[in-house]
Copies of this chain bind each other. A is one copy, B any other.
Amino acid sequence: MLLNATMFSEPNKDILDRREAIVGHLARLVSSDGLITDRDECRAYETDAFTAYRKMPLAVVLPASTNEVSAVLKFCHDHGVKVVPRGAGTSLAGGAIPTEDSIVLGLSRMTGVLEINYDDRFIRVEAGVTNLKITAAVADRGFFYAPDPSSQLACTIGGNIANNSGGAHCLKYGVTTNNLLGVRMVLMDGTIIDLGGNSHDSGGLDLLGVVVGSEGQLGVVTEATVRILRSAEAARPVLFGFSSCDGAGNTVAEIIAAGIIPVAIEYMDKAAIEICEAFSRAGYPLDAEALLIIEVEGSKAEMDATLERIISIARANGVQTVRESRSAIETAAIWKGRKSAFGATGRVADYLCMDGTVPTGKLSYVLAQITEIVKRYGLRVANVFHAGDGNMHPLILYNANDPAEQSKAEAAGNDILKLCVEVGGCLTGEHGVGLEKRDLMRYQFNRIDLDQQMRLREAFDPKSLLNRDKVFPIDC
C-alpha cells in the first residue's frame, strides 16, 4: 500500500548493461522454448493479479526440470542476477512482479504428477501443477487436496506454498502448511535440497515449515508432496440471511467460541451479495444486509446434528432466512458465486482487495469500523471473506483512472490493515505481503522481529537475490 516511486530499489546498471551476455548464457542452461527475451512476449510477465505496477524483466526463463532450475539459479548466484520465481502469477499482493534487473523464473512447464500413494495418502507433483489438478488426479478414488483458493483453477502448488494459501474450506482442513508433507527445493546457489518427506515429522529443524509462506525468498520449490484426504460422504452448504451485519458477525463468533467447526463459514455483506448474485444467480437473499454461507459435511445424521446447533445460534442472533442446498447443482451455484466474487466485483468497479485477519470475537466491531473508514474517504466497500478463521477481504471500490481516488483507496486500505493489527490480528491471511504490504511490516513487527527474520532469510540466500524488494521494507 501507499505504493510510490521508491517501491523498487534502483536497478543494478551493471546487470542491465550485461543483459545480452546474461541472456546468452541462460539460453544454454534450459531446453528449447525455455527462454523468452522478446519484449512483446515478456509483457505477459510484467505484472501479476495485483496489476498496480509493471516492470519489464531482463528475460523470462522457463526451466523444464529441477536440474535446469539448479543450473539457472547457480548462474544467477555467481553473477549477481536477481530472480523472481513465478507460478501462475495470480498473486494479489504483487509477489510475482519482476524488477528490470531480474529474471522471471517461471515454473509453468513443470506440470508432472510424479507419484500417487493411496495407502499413505499423499501425492507428489511438480511445482507448476495447478491446485485443482491435484484434486482432479485423485478424485476418481474419492480423495481431494484440501486448500482451495478461489483462483484454484489457475494458481499452482508452488505459488500456494510460497503464500501459504488458504481457501473457503480451510476452516476445517487447515491451510497449505497443514497439508504439505515435503518439497524438493533449489537454493539460490543451485544446491538441491529435500525437506520433509512423505509422512509425519522429520527430525532436526523444521525447514519445511519456514519455507511455507516465505514468498519465494528462501529457494525455488520444484516438487511438492501433499496430503490427500478422503472426500466426505456428503456436504451441504446453507445460506443464512441476516438483517444486520452484527447478527451475522456475532453468529460467526458464537459458532467458533462454541467449538463447532463446520467445513466453511463465508461472509458477504449487502454490496457483495448484490454483485455476486448478479454474476452467478446462486439464489443469494437480496433482501439481506449480510449473508453467511456455512457448509457442513459427513453422514446425513452428522450434518443434521451440526446444523441444528448452528441454526439455533443463528436464530438467537435474529437470522431472517435459512436455506439449505437441496441438490448438487444448487451447491455448485452457491460456491461458484462465492468463488467468483473478485472477478464479479471487477466487472462493476476497480477495487483494492485487502487481506487481513482478526480474532473472530472482533468481527462485528471490525466490520463496523471498516464501513466508517471507507466512508471517511468518500468510497464504498464490499466485504466477502472467510469469516470462520477471521480472514477478511474488504474490497475497496474506486475509479482507477482518478489518481486522487487511487490514493484515497490506498490510504483507506492502510487504515484497515492497521486496524486488523490493533485488534490482535495481522496484515495478511493468505495473499502474502508481496510488494503491497511490505512497508506496513513495521506496523506488525518491531525491529527485533524483523532483524531475526532477515537473519533467517540470509541463512538461505545470503546475497538476497531471490524476490528482493518484496516482503521486507527496502532499508531493512
Contacts and interface: CB of A to CB of B under 8 A. Distances in A.
A305 to B, nearest CB: 5
Contacts of A199: 357-359, 389-390, 424-426
A455 B461 CA distance: 11
A402 interface: no
A191 B446 CA distance: 12
Interface string A339-366: 0000000000000000001111100000
A242 interface: no
Interface residues of A, number: 82
Given A213-B206, A389-B200, A449 B143 contact: no
A121 interface: yes
Contacts of A271: none
A310 B458 CA distance: 49
A28 interface: no
Contacts of A433: 203-204
Given A207-B452, A305-B302, A121 B197 contact: no
A429 interface: yes
B204 A453 contact: yes
Among A230, A456, A471, residue most surrounded by chain B Cβ atoms (within 10 Å): A456
A384 B305 CA distance: 36
Given A209-B177, A452-B187, A458-B459, A204 B358 contact: no
A198 interface: yes
Contacts of A450: 204
A201 B390 CA distance: 10
A441 B202 CA distance: 10
A448 interface: yes
Interface in A451-467: 452-453, 455-460
Main secondary structure of the interface of A (DSSP, over half): loop
Given A200-B390, A210-B205, A429-B200, A194 B449 contact: yes
B206 A210 contact: yes
A421 to B, nearest CB: 9
Contacts of A437: 203
A119 B359 contact: yes
Contact of A205 (B143, B177, B213): B213
Given A119-B257, A449-B193, A460-B452, A426 B301 contact: no
Nearest to A437: B203
Given A230-B258, A230-B259, A203 B426 contact: yes
A204 B441 contact: yes
A313 interface: no
Contacts of A302: 298-299, 301-302, 305
A465 to B, nearest CB: 16
Given A175-B201, A198-B359, 20 more contacts: A118-B257, A119-B253, A120-B257, A120-B360, A187-B452, A191-B448, A194-B449, A197-B424, A197-B426, A198-B424, A200-B357, A200-B429, A201-B213, A201-B357, A203-B428, A204-B449, A230-B259, A298-B302, A455-B460, A456-B456
Interface of A: 117-121, 142-143, 164, 174-175, 177-178, 187, 191-195, 197-207, 209-210, 212-214, 218, 229-231, 253, 256-260, 298-299, 301-302, 305, 357-361, 389-391, 424-430, 433, 437, 441, 444-445, 448-450, 452-453, 455-460, 471-472
